[in-house]
Structure 1
Amino acid sequence: MAPKFKDGDVVFAFSGKWVSWVHTVVAYAAFLGALIVGVALHYHKIVENEHYGYPEEWFPSVSATIGDRYPERSVFMLFIAITSGPRFALVGLWYLLTARPNASLPKFVAAMGLFRTLTCGGWTYVTSTDDHDWHDIFMISYIVATLPWTLGCIALSPSNGKAAKYRKYLASSFFGTLVPLIYFFIQHKVHRIAGAYTTYAFFEWTLVLLDVAFDAVTALDFEAFELVVKDVKGSSKGNKMVADAVLEKEKDKQVNQVFGQAFSWTEAIDAVADVYNGFVFWSMLTSLGVLVWYFPLWHMGISGYEVMVMSTVSPLLLGIRPIRSLVVKNLRVCHFLSLAGLLAYQVKDPANRLFTVGFAVWMTCLSWAATWYSEAAQPGRLESKISAWAIGLIASSVVKFAWQTSNPIWPISHASNGGWNATGFILAVLAVLRSTRKSPAGGSDLAIQGRKEGSSLLAGLGLGGLFFGLHSLLSDSSTMILWNWEGYPVRGPISAPHGAWTIAAMGAGLILGLFNEDIARSWTFYGIGSVGAAMLTLYSNWTGYYGALILTVYLLAASVPLIGSAARKSPARTFGIGFLAYNFMVLFHVWVVAYAFVPGGPLVREHTDWVMITTMLLIGCGVFSSVSSTPAAQRKRFNAYLNSRKQRSYYLYILGVLQLLSVSIAYLRFPTYDYVPYHKDDKILTAGIWTIHFSLDNDMWSSEYRMRDVIKELELDVVGLLESDLQRIIMGNRDTTQFLAEDLGMYVDYGPGPNKHTWGAALLSKFPIVNSTHHLLPSPAGELAPAIEATLDVYGEMIDVFVFHSGQEEDPEDRRLQSEYLSKLMGATPRPAILLSYLVTRPLEGNYNTYVSETSGMHDIDPSDWDRWCEYILYKGLKRTGYARVSRSTITDTEIQVGKFKIGEKESEIAEERNAMISEDQVPEGMRFPQMFRGEGVRGHQYHVFNEPRYFA
């Protein structure tokens, strides 16, 4: 019989804990039931993956178990459908238990709980076979929402020590399991290690069990509820929760001041607008170098347009009082003028586009310097502007992570190559209108703060080092990963997914700087950052990357005290000198690789270590200035913004969203490694060589989309790319190979990294790259000559491919030494080999006879082709079947050369027989070159020189 209470009778009642128990039992039944049925009926099928089957792999993954096979899929779907009812009830009861007046966190956690429930249904009922994209979208959304749900439940746990303990243990185990899970997945997917997927499957099942167990803990809390619905213990009517008690005891601490406030949409939108303005600043600044680079690239030396690098020094004008007053009082106008850079894509002439962006950078640097200075009297607002600027950098990195290192609002982008320029401009206008509606401090508040708190000159130098470090290393999440890349087999991080690690370290650094500014400005932390810089510079693979992560945390953390200290001094001497020092560092880090083309270049040749040392010394100047602030002054500023720290929470929410986005992007971009060559049935390997001119076309547009199209249409299985290292400020910190590899479905070896001081050599391959070694060939006088030596698994046969860029024409001794080195390298391999190269020699003359010699054992793909100077394809131990030259259109200054090879056959060693040509109608269909490039071709690409491909018997 149902109990009675003074406020009415209860017709039916049961303890709320049974909601949790039903949810737990049915959820486990769904997964374990499918596992039992799957093992019983389809064991060998569900343990098999794309690389191995039984007995190498002997335990099925979750996805294989609950996937497409009947009846295990039906068993899973039946029980998971039954689970949905208790699941919705569980989320609702948790909200009722934790809700309290003026608290937004319970609402947010409940929303995440509902979102997880809906997305669980998504990936459950839409399998990867049904719709791979939507299955992944639902799965990623579910995983991403798990983090705020888990942390939110822990934060809101009622005063129940046993439940709180279990939640902490289960949550720690869940997130700890992700590390070995990812490790063994990479071992399986990248390294193809037998048995790795079985180990991965155990961790995957562990995650499922822990995920359900975490929600099962609510049974201990829901004992306080009796349904329908009676709160018999009053837990939801005012009993203090653990989080409430902690916050009351520590009400003067920063955590309560940040998160213990009611949510305000107005302030949240203000924060979003500020961050977007920061994103636009970094987008404009990072685009300037690319536009400047276009001109020396085409002039092959100093062009004069390099002076536009100095567009950043506009804050020097703030040293003139009338101008400073004018700018501070008209910040909205200044920010609006800086948006001209977002419209620069409408300017077709390259020079005028550069001038437009130069003006935009001039205005945005002036605007941000004046903004920081004008807010110096209000520490809370100053911190908000610094946070927005720093999170803007993180947002820029996340966007480039999503766009494979390109930025869709850059002026080298437009609609046909992935640009979102118009959308970016409209959002920027709205952001400026929103973020500048509050006028800065006026009158006496504009007086320079803390004149005696350290040197303005040293503060400016510190900013120069900071700006350069952030821009050169962190404006793209893959830059420092490529510093540590050493080729195959993979021995360190890869751009995706590990770019998310770099972004996570950026967020952690900013949080540290905001919550513990004393540590961020300390000499001890500076020393730790310097150690990270040294590790990044001196080591490769994981060791070097761990140093990169340390340096990342330091740079973002130091941004808060260094910019804050500079804002309280003369803006001309701090921000003006800061950007001047930044410009010096930009030129310095270009000179170390461009030494052959600039005056005084040989003095700093290959000295990235000098660049890093100078960067850290400059930052040290800023630290010295910052710590020189008197304790009394620091305490006064601290007290001044204690009451303003509520605004900080919105910036941290934005930061959290960006971190979740980066994790999602990493998942989506994880390499599939299921690539298929174009003519596998004919066992044809089609190889090409192309000098891509740093992915800028003749009209100053980013060219990766056009490159992708022609590579795909030419059906290239293997392609060597030269002049491909774009990971410097002057080239936008880009990596075209990421886009090409992912879009075309190819393995990629970036070649010698940006810290190896070359113009780049990269290899893309439809075939697995078993091993690769990077070489820097002898270059005593001129620029460094990079080479990749890679072994490919081509239809089961090991074949070596060499990608090589020779030194320039002005250094004949370099080219002679390089030809001897490469000739011996090619001659040393006993395997069939292909050379995809840029040799700078005429056929049958000079160094050509070193490359094509008894020492190398290599043959020219077409000795009768006399009209060559740069690009050559050589080979040995293979049957060459075809050769073609394809015009470049306006993409670069160099054509594409293509060769076809029949794997499993060898040709005659007699030159006359080997070089005998045949007509196309004698060649099987699958071994022919595409017809679409005949005649006028497509989009400016056509067979030229001989006007048709050549085929060999």
Structure 2
Amino acid sequence: MSSLSEKRNRPGSVVASANGKWVSYAHTAFAGYAFLSALVLGMTLHFHKIVRNEFYGYPDEWFPSVSAAIGDRYPERSVFQIFIAVTAGPRFALIFLTYLVNAKPGAFFPKVHAIVGLIRTFTCGGWVYITSTDDHDWHDIFMIAYMLLTIPWTIGGIKISAKGKALKWRKFFGIAFYVMIIPLVYFFIQHKINHVPGAYTTYAFCEWSLIFFDIAYDAVSVFDFSAFEIRVIDMNGITAGFPPVGKSSSHRDLKVKDAGLLTGFTIGGLLRFTISVYNSFVFWSVLTSLGVLIWYFPLWYMGISGYEVTLLSSIAPLLLGLPFAAILFDKFPQIAQLGQLIGVAAYLVPGPSDRLLTVTAGVMFGTIALSIEFWNVTARPFLGLSKATAFSIGFIVSVIAKFAFYANNPIWPIMHEENGGWNKTGLALGVVAAILTTRPQAGTVDVVPSSRRGCFVWSSCGLAGLIFNLHSLLSDSSTLIYWVWSGYPVTGPLPVPHGAVTIFAMTLGVYIGVVARSFSSSWTAFAIASIGATVLYSFENWTGYIGGLVLTVYLLSIVPAFLESASIHHPGRTFGFAFFLYDLLVLAHVWVVAYAFVPGGPLLRERTDIVLAIAMLLIGLGVYGVGKVPTSGSSSAKSNSINFYKVRSFALIFLTSLSALVASVAYKRMSTETPKPYNPDSKLMTVGIWTIHFGLDNDMWASEVRMRDAIRDLELDVVGLLESDTQRIIMGNRDLTQQIAEDLGMYVDYGPGPNKHTWGAALLSKFPILNSTHHLLPSPVGELAPAIHATLDVYGTPIDVVVFHSGQEEDVEDRRLQTAGVTEIMASSSNPLILLSYLVTKPLEGNYNTYVSEKSRMHDIDPSDWDRWCEYILYRDIKRVAYARVSRSTITDTEIQTGKFVIGVDPTSSNVQIPESQVPKEYHYPAMFRGEGVRGHRYHVFDEPRYFQ
């Protein structure tokens, strides 16, 4: 025993050491061998299989893509995965040593760079071990996330590198990497869209070049790591047989330096931050759902229903003026958080009125929970910043949820399992988050004296304007885009993919709100944002959208300052009055388009500019209020820096992760397939018109899925949708066309946007839309009448389609003027034309004889159909062969009318009806709608389609 003891080293002895450059060598060797071995094995064993793609094979294509080489075949797939797994060790060491090289006292960016490197490494594991063969979507999602994270990894590495060889080569390989992306994208488009033979081989060379530059960029670390010596130190003298090779003086320094990476960062802190984010997501989900449910009732009443009073549920913070209520909710914040989940659980309530009242209770608890959460947050340094940042990120999460679920929030009470809802999941997570909600310990640090708090009114005004603008403009990523939408050809942003750009702007705003609060709450920033709002309202396409993005960044950046300003006052007054002002803005936001149905409506008729200006004025008052009170965080610099870095770390983790998620969703939703009509061989064009009642069915469920199925089964190539503009608070800021168009493969023109003050007209088409113009028909008294005049490329023939919604029955002069306006549009066209319309007239009477006239040259699809009042299909210079009326089921209050036309034949039409047996089979309507039909849809009125000579 004594001899063994003598062989042991003294505590603190170095038992092994190696130069840091071997980390770089190992990483480069293993990563390079993983890719090269897969390439060599694949080319040797499966050459013809891995060079073949969806369009071509050898000899047109003769070099495999990275995915084909590493993921499609055995054994190369297994060899690659084994060596990539071995690379993981050097990879994590490389990230850690890179941090140590660049970390400096007080330097924050090296920490961010290290976190990005860690997340990027895990996304690499995602696309390596989930191959395109296993799951193509998730493979691409991880690959895109990896590529996106490469941007901050490479640029960040260059930014923090000291001058020398390492910086020189990092710039070279970094620039080479990004330059190579240009031909990569070009040849991918040549392959995927234009189907050029051999383009994929060139694309593959570009892809392999990216792999080389990526590995080479990290290999440059050898210049940095040569200055390191990695040692294994025996702290307790337990090793035997290894002589001491040096002193351990560097051990303590390494520990201290390593601790800097996690300064202020704790798992518990991240968990609490995550809980706040999810609670905010629930808050925004419940608040944004209230308007949708209220809207259901005036739709059926065609005016004020009385249920609008539930909007005032948001002023529930006034109840905190009662001492008992304030003490209860302050001591037990879990009560309010659980209470707002009533709004999520409302989907379990079948009756529309009962469901609305359930959500009303959820909104009451939600606004109380928000008020309590920010009560006196100035008592702790940067607590307000932390909670406000979580609040903003929760809002962004709700927007991303809608982006991923085609403009519907998956936990809204209009959603359920049948139409794509995730209500159970959202409710379960909400219960966990609510229970784990904690009450911050009250403190005495930085409590603002009452003499310095100023007037609560300024804070309330700012908060009202902020929440209204967030809700009305940004609660869906497509709203800003439809404000500036002008039709075809496309000269501006599209909901996909540019909705992701809107969300990226939101994340930028959140980050600015964290790191530059003094600027974001300044008058300079407010002036810039006001200019952005003016540009958004005044211009279309990219110009208007850029103005909207400027406003977006600003709105998210001022959240911390405004919520902190509100927190120094009693929440009952500040938040209660803020939500009262918010409710007034919401009503004004509806009045601008619903003026024909509400008392005093003409005062705000078509004055979105006034509503936007008032909201910005309120924000200006909030800026004034922020300037009157001190901000939090004026305690010791040490305490401040730790808390500040912690909030910034949490924000970056969430914002980076959410940005990668958004990019992945945008990529997944982008379609590269060209829409194809249902009957191209017979050159048949099937059209339809449907008034869809704003996408809420008779039982108050979102109806996009049921609408999609009906349009698909009727094989409609072109369909006009009316009452389709839902880009308002009261309608949920939804886009009813997204899911239908993407699932069925159709082009879509949304029609006049929400700032054009109509109830909406949309056009979906399997045929390319060459051009489209939006019209607002004369409406001196009643509601505005929208129209879309589009030219479609139908089997090589330009065919015009007009989608039109006339004004209401009571306004006779409006309808006369609108009739003349649409007739002029039709008469001015020289192409064959189809009108898909809502005319509010009886057949063969009144305005009907202006629509069907010598001037318009239009014909009724079936003049003998006397049982019509609203929907009509008219046509000219095109061969009509069939007409049918299909019941609506419980989706809306209006049937589907549909007609079939043949292109490229004699357009002469006869009103003589013939049996179906005398019509070519490809012209037949689907048999599934005969008799009882399918899902409540059936041929009705005639009980069968009508066919014509």
Code of the residue aligned with 2:906 in structure 1: it is K
1:146-225 mapped onto 2 (5 Å cutoff): 146=150, 150=154, 161-167=164-170, 170-171=173-174, 174=177, 207=210, 210-221=213-224, 223=226
SS of match in other structure, 1:741: helix
The alignment status of 1:901 with 2:901, answered yes or no, reads yes
Contact 1:144 1:664 in 2 (8 A): no
CA deviation vs aligned residue, 1:288-321 (integer Å, no higher than 9, x gap) = 0001111111100011111111111112223344
CA deviation vs aligned residue, 1:351-385 (integer Å, no higher than 9, x gap) = 11111111110111012112211434224322222
SS of match in other structure, 2:596: coil
SS of match in other structure, 1:698: coil
Corresponding residue for residue 580 of structure 1: 580
Code of the residue aligned with 2:516 in structure 1: it is N
Distance 2:221 2:114 in 1: 17
Distance 2:497 2:320 in 1: 43
Corresponding residue for residue 480 of structure 1: 480
Q: 1:833 to 1:239 in 2, by over 3 A?
A: farther
Distance 2:397 2:19 in 1: 53
Q: 1:916 to 1:21 in 2, by over 3 A?
A: same
Q: 1:326 to 1:96 in 2, by over 3 A?
A: closer
1:913-952 mapped onto 2 (5 Å cutoff): 914-952=910-948
Contact 1:312 1:580 in 2 (8 A): yes
SS of match in other structure, 2:356: helix
Contact 1:61 1:204 in 2 (8 A): no
1:637-652 mapped onto 2 (5 Å cutoff): 641-648=640-647, 649-652=649-652
1:807-826 mapped onto 2 (5 Å cutoff): 807-826=807-826
Q: 1:385 to 1:114 in 2, by over 3 A?
A: closer
Q: 1:819 to 1:855 in 2, by over 3 A?
A: same
Residue 126 of structure 1, aligned match among 117, 128, 132 = 132
The alignment status of 1:336 with 2:338, answered yes or no, reads yes
Cα deviation, residue 131, structure 1? 5.9
SS of match in other structure, 2:452: coil
Distance 1:186 1:580 in 2: 52
- Stretch deviating more after TM superposition (899-908 or 77-86): 77-86
Distance 1:196 1:563 in 2: 54
Distance 2:517 2:898 in 1: 58
Code of the residue aligned with 2:890 in structure 1: it is T
Corresponding residue for residue 803 of structure 1: 803
Q: 1:100 to 1:612 in 2, by over 3 A?
A: same
Cα deviation, residue 112, structure 1? 4.0
Residue 425 of structure 2, aligned match among 423, 426, 438 = 423
Cα deviation, residue 212, structure 1? 3.9
Q: Which runs of 5+ in 2 are unaligned?
A: 1-12, 104-109, 234-243
Corresponding residue for residue 359 of structure 1: 361
Q: 1:195 to 1:840 in 2, by over 3 A?
A: farther
Cα deviation, residue 450, structure 1? 4.5
SS of match in other structure, 1:596: helix
Contact 1:313 1:362 in 2 (8 A): yes
Cα deviation, residue 680, structure 1? 1.7
Code of the residue aligned with 2:143 in structure 1: it is M
Distance 1:12 1:392 in 2: 46
Corresponding residue for residue 328 of structure 2: 326
Corresponding residue for residue 390 of structure 1: 392
Distance 2:788 2:357 in 1: 38
The sequence identity of aligned pairs, in percent, is 51
Code of the residue aligned with 1:218 in structure 2: it is S
Residue 276 of structure 2, aligned match among 274, 285, 310 = 274
Corresponding residue for residue 56 of structure 1: none
Q: 1:237 to 1:906 in 2, by over 3 A?
A: farther
Code of the residue aligned with 1:422 in structure 2: it is K
Corresponding residue for residue 700 of structure 1: 700
Corresponding residue for residue 252 of structure 1: none
What's the RMSD between the two structures over aligned residues?
A: 4.4
CA deviation vs aligned residue, 1:56-81 (integer Å, no higher than 9, x gap) = xxx9999x856779999999979967
Corresponding residue for residue 456 of structure 2: 456
Distance 2:901 2:635 in 1: 75
Q: 1:117 to 1:423 in 2, by over 3 A?
A: closer
1:710-729 mapped onto 2 (5 Å cutoff): 710-729=710-729
CA deviation vs aligned residue, 1:457-488 (integer Å, no higher than 9, x gap) = 11111111011011111111111011111111
Contact 1:288 1:354 in 2 (8 A): yes
Code of the residue aligned with 1:162 in structure 2: it is K
The alignment status of 1:793 with 2:801, answered yes or no, reads no
Cα deviation, residue 539, structure 1? 0.9
Corresponding residue for residue 441 of structure 1: 442
Q: 1:34 to 1:949 in 2, by over 3 A?
A: farther
Distance 2:607 2:930 in 1: 48
Distance 1:225 1:446 in 2: 45
Contact 1:226 1:232 in 2 (8 A): no
CA deviation vs aligned residue, 1:567-618 (integer Å, no higher than 9, x gap) = 1023233211111111111011111111111111111111111111111100
Code of the residue aligned with 1:922 in structure 2: it is Q
Q: 1:680 to 1:162 in 2, by over 3 A?
A: same
| Aligned length, in residue pairs | 916
Contact 1:16 1:223 in 2 (8 A): no
CA deviation vs aligned residue, 1:796-854 (integer Å, no higher than 9, x gap) = 22211111111111112111111112112112222222111111111111111111122
- Stretch deviating more after TM superposition (531-540 or 200-209): 200-209
Code of the residue aligned with 2:722 in structure 1: it is L
Code of the residue aligned with 2:295 in structure 1: it is W
SS of match in other structure, 1:592: helix
Distance 1:301 1:780 in 2: 20
Q: 1:770 to 1:80 in 2, by over 3 A?
A: farther
Contact 2:69 2:76 in 1 (8 A): no
1:482-561 mapped onto 2 (5 Å cutoff): 482-561=482-561
Q: 1:7 to 1:237 in 2, by over 3 A?
A: closer
Cα deviation, residue 886, structure 1? 0.4
Code of the residue aligned with 2:147 in structure 1: it is I
Q: 1:519 to 1:471 in 2, by over 3 A?
A: same
- Stretch deviating more after TM superposition (665-674 or 20-29): 20-29
Q: 1:216 to 1:98 in 2, by over 3 A?
A: closer
Q: 1:778 to 1:679 in 2, by over 3 A?
A: same
Q: 1:793 to 1:315 in 2, by over 3 A?
A: same
1:27-66 mapped onto 2 (5 Å cutoff): none
The alignment status of 1:293 with 2:300, answered yes or no, reads no
Corresponding residue for residue 738 of structure 1: 738
Distance 2:198 2:854 in 1: 45
Distance 1:771 1:202 in 2: 38
Distance 1:96 1:236 in 2: 20
Distance 2:920 2:38 in 1: 52
Residue 115 of structure 1, aligned match among 114, 122, 125 = 122
Cα deviation, residue 650, structure 1? 2.4
Code of the residue aligned with 1:928 in structure 2: it is H
Distance 2:495 2:19 in 1: 58
Contact 2:881 2:948 in 1 (8 A): yes
Cα deviation, residue 759, structure 1? 0.7
Distance 2:232 2:860 in 1: 85
SS of match in other structure, 1:882: strand
Cα deviation, residue 919, structure 1? 0.9
Distance 1:746 1:92 in 2: 46
Cα deviation, residue 523, structure 1? 0.4
Distance 1:554 1:813 in 2: 45
SS of match in other structure, 1:554: helix
Distance 2:844 2:878 in 1: 21
Cα deviation, residue 179, structure 1? 8.8
Code of the residue aligned with 2:892 in structure 1: it is T
SS of match in other structure, 1:408: coil
Cα deviation, residue 118, structure 1? 3.4
Corresponding residue for residue 381 of structure 1: 383
Distance 1:361 1:702 in 2: 20
- Stretch deviating more after TM superposition (673-682 or 306-315): 673-682
Contact 1:16 1:226 in 2 (8 A): no
Corresponding residue for residue 261 of structure 1: 263
Distance 1:194 1:830 in 2: 40
